[in-house]
Chains A and B, each alone.
Chain A
Amino acid sequence: MGKHPEYIDWEKELAKNLSRCPERKEKFTNHGGEDIPRLAVPDQIDERYLENIGFPGRYPYTRGVQPTMYRGRFWTMRQYAGFSTASESNKRYRYLLEHGTTGLSVAFDLPTQIGYDSDHPMAAGEVGKVGVAIDSLADMELLFDRIPLDKVSTSMTINAPAAILLAMYAAVAEKQGVEISRIRGTIQNDILKEYVARGTYIFPPKPSLRLITDTFKWCTEHTPEFNTISISGYHIREAGSTAVQEVAFTLANGITYVQAALDAGLELDNFAPRLSFFFNASSDLLEEISKFRAARRLWARIMKDRFHAKKPASLMLRFHTQTAGYTLTAQQIDNNIVRVAIQALSAVLGGTQSLHTNSRDEALSLPTEDSVRTALRTQQVIAHESGVANTVDPLAGSYFIEELTDRIEVQASELIAKIDKAGGVVAAIEDGFIQRQIENSAYEYQQEIEKGERIIVGVNEFKIDEQTKPPLLRVNPEVENGQVLSLKTVREERDNNNVEEALANLSACARSSSNLMPEILAAVKTYATLGEICHVLREEFGEYRG
């Protein structure tokens, strides 16, 4: 029997692709000089194979979203970082870029994430702790000082005030002389998981969804290379969910955003290609690999069957992965390097587009520079030494992997159907259904550890008496005072009439149904602070209380 016509067709398209963008090496060989096949396929390609597994870069995308995957280009090594002040974080970014990181990922402190300026009473004690404090455009200018925004892609973990930070980023690009249409990156902008897992919500669901669809629309027109959302299962898993729940709740949130955008009058194939996802890579290697493959296939099917997307790019689930923070132990912390390596491997074997590897000391504090370097090196070892990046989706066709992939897809679909039946995600959040599911899974998992049914090496087995303490990174307590002082200077030096006017316009816009982005952008350019802008929106939209 000859080659299946679909395979021939895929090879033809591949040849065209390769002439346009060649792979990273001319030849991929082992030690011994033998060729490593780009894609291994079964001898007999049948309908079942085509329907469930197929070819990389083709529906249903089980084998990956690009035809050559990491033979073309490695995943983006993107280390989440940021602490203290904008200039301190800027140093860490430039350090990471020097050491071969290929994308930035900004961690903001909690006051920034919740829309409080550093001098707000609720911010006391939290300024600069889990990320960098950004009060106004002035901080953002320092954060990206000497980092050309047309050259790097930047991911920003920001949700409730995502539109404001995106506006600041665009404003910095303009000041650098970079056309804003050329900026690349991602804003997390995923409020739904904040209500159930992460906690940095500000406004109630309805106006929050409006802010999100406004950014979708604005980005489609102004920043076509920016991912407008990173629909995140990461934190759902961190809060204690199972792998199936992670997929189900994440994709259910995705469905909600797509529907909200359609309801706001956006064209599906205009905004859907810029949706991106973010998953957790936990320790169960084979389950995690299957999870990524299942999520990709399920999303493709949802976009095709439920929403009737036409463009291939609308069907593709592109995702970032971070290794699982919750699996890190405070005991024998070097063991965490091994955990992270296994987890990172699952993400690569599962076809991730970008990856953050956690540092060994994160169960104790923010990571030190040395620990961060080891975490990055872990990715580089997988990329350059392990060989897994030389072929596409090497585990396809494994009986176990395919069975698990199928099972995760089926179980996640069932859970999504349950949410649909309950009236959708917002109703399921208001009812507490999603929170209860996560909480029950978290409780069971921890009880297994407590009872010794689940072994965590170094914690409930193989324990030692540890004498030496690793060096920890401490955020200087003076950071808060310093930040409050610079904020004061910004308020004194700007033209306050401009600020007042911009905030009044924003307020009026919030009451109308116009897109909020242009007014937010105008406001940040006057050096109106994040807290002032959020205050205006809090007045108009009200606040959500969990």
Chain B
Amino acid sequence: MPEQKKTYRVLIGKPGLDGHDRGAKFIARALRDAGFEVVYTGIRRTPEEIAAAAVQEDVSAVGLSLLSGAHMSLFPAVVRALRNAGAGDIPVLGGGIIPDEDIGPLKDSGINAVYTPGTPVDKIIAAFRSACESQEAGRT
């Protein structure tokens, strides 16, 4: 993987009560290896805690992982929490066990993109990079 020029900082979060974090930890480490600075929240965080961490760490993107089926309420809740914290410009990406038919409504609720099992990690890294770039472009 080519090293990126600018080091972006991203946050990987596990909202809700789901403890499955094999995927979240893998993505966090793969992003780190690809040159990102990565903050991983650990499991069982509220949407508000995730938003507060994103603001405090001044990240350029947030990635959420959920395998419990609660994504329809918890992913949009993180988007709302970010807006309430004045950080509505931070793009949110999602992943996990998410039925295809939920992806459209999640995007409508402000989720940037959703990745499901079997997605090559390079594709996810590229998505984070472009999300970070567009977030930066929006700020300047």
Select one of B42, B74, B118, B122 contacting A125, CB under 8 A.
B74
Contact digits for B103-126, partner A, Cβ 8 Å, 1 yes 0 no: 000000000000011101110000
Select one of A111, A200, A450, A475 contacting B120, CB under 8 A.
A450
Nearest residue, chain A, Cβ from B29: A443
Select one of A122, A238, A442, A546 contacting B17, CB under 8 A.
A122
Q: Given contacts A126-B17, A472-B99, are A199 and B69 in contact (CB under 8 A)?
A: no
Size of the chain B interface, CB-CB below 8 angstroms: 31
B97 and A365 form a contact (CB under 8 A): yes
Tell me if B's interface is mostly helix, strand, loop or mixed.
loop
For residue A112, give the distance in angstroms from its CB to the closest CB of chain B.
Answer: 10
B21 touches A (CB below 8 Å): yes
Nearest residue, chain B, Cβ from A112: B17
Contact digits for A436-465, partner B, Cβ 8 Å, 1 yes 0 no: 000100110010001000000001100000
* B-facing residues in A113-132 (Cβ within 8 Å): 113-114, 116, 122-126, 129-130
B68 and A442 form a contact (CB under 8 A): no
B73 touches A (CB below 8 Å): yes
Chain A residues with CB under 8 Å of B70's CB are 125-126, 129
Q: Given contacts A110-B18, A129-B68, A239-B22, are A124 and B73 in contact (CB under 8 A)?
A: yes
For residue A81, give the distance in angstroms from its CB to the closest CB of chain B.
Answer: 15
For residue B29, give the distance in angstroms from its CB to the closest CB of chain A.
Answer: 6
A534 touches B (CB below 8 Å): no
* A-facing residues in B56-85 (Cβ within 8 Å): 68-70, 72-74, 77
Tell me if A's interface is mostly helix, strand, loop or mixed.
loop
B35 touches A (CB below 8 Å): no
* B-facing residues in A83-135 (Cβ within 8 Å): 110-111, 113-114, 116, 122-126, 129-130
Q: Given contacts A199-B44, A330-B116, A472-B99, are A125 and B16 in contact (CB under 8 A)?
A: yes
Select one of B17, B100, B116 contacting A110, CB under 8 A.
B17
Nearest residue, chain B, Cβ from A477: B72
A364 and B97 form a contact (CB under 8 A): yes
* A-B residue pair count with CB separations less than 8 angstroms: 88
Contact digits for B27-57, partner A, Cβ 8 Å, 1 yes 0 no: 0011000000000001110100000000000
Select one of B26, B73, B120 contacting A442, CB under 8 A.
B26
A116 and B16 alpha carbons, distance in the complex (Å)? 12
Chain A residues with CB under 8 Å of B22's CB are 238-240, 326, 442
Chain A residues with CB under 8 Å of B120's CB are 450, 460
For residue B81, give the distance in angstroms from its CB to the closest CB of chain A.
Answer: 13
A252 touches B (CB below 8 Å): no
* B-facing residues in A313-342 (Cβ within 8 Å): 326, 329-331
Q: Given contacts A110-B68, A129-B70, A472-B99, are A199 and B18 in contact (CB under 8 A)?
A: yes
B19 touches A (CB below 8 Å): yes
Size of the chain A interface, CB-CB below 8 angstroms: 41
A254 and B70 alpha carbons, distance in the complex (Å)? 33
Chain B residues with CB under 8 Å of A129's CB are 68-70
For residue B17, give the distance in angstroms from its CB to the closest CB of chain A.
Answer: 4
A411 and B70 alpha carbons, distance in the complex (Å)? 39
B19 and A198 form a contact (CB under 8 A): yes
B44 and A546 form a contact (CB under 8 A): yes
Central interface residue in B19, B21, B43, by most chain A CB within 10 Å: B19
Chain A residues with CB under 8 Å of B46's CB are 122
B99 and A365 form a contact (CB under 8 A): yes
For residue A98, give the distance in angstroms from its CB to the closest CB of chain B.
Answer: 27
Select one of A200, A240, A450, A469 contacting B100, CB under 8 A.
A469
Chain B residues with CB under 8 Å of A472's CB are 99
A200 and B17 alpha carbons, distance in the complex (Å)? 8
* B-facing residues in A324-362 (Cβ within 8 Å): 326, 329-331
A366 touches B (CB below 8 Å): yes
Q: Given contacts A110-B68, A442-B22, are A450 and B44 in contact (CB under 8 A)?
A: no
A364 and B68 alpha carbons, distance in the complex (Å)? 11
A363 touches B (CB below 8 Å): yes
Chain B residues with CB under 8 Å of A450's CB are 30, 120-122
Chain B residues with CB under 8 Å of A477's CB are 72
A439 and B74 alpha carbons, distance in the complex (Å)? 26
Chain A residues with CB under 8 Å of B118's CB are 329-331, 459
Chain A residues in the interface with B (C-beta under 8 A): 110-111, 113-114, 116, 122-126, 129-130, 194, 197-200, 238-240, 326, 329-331, 363-366, 439, 442-443, 446, 450, 459-460, 469, 472, 474-475, 477, 546
> Can you report 6 A-B residue pairs in the complex whose CB atoms are below 8 A from each other?
A110-B68, A116-B17, A125-B77, A126-B16, A197-B19, A240-B22
Give the 3 A-B residue pairs with the shortest CB-CB distance, closest first: A199-B19, A125-B73, A125-B70
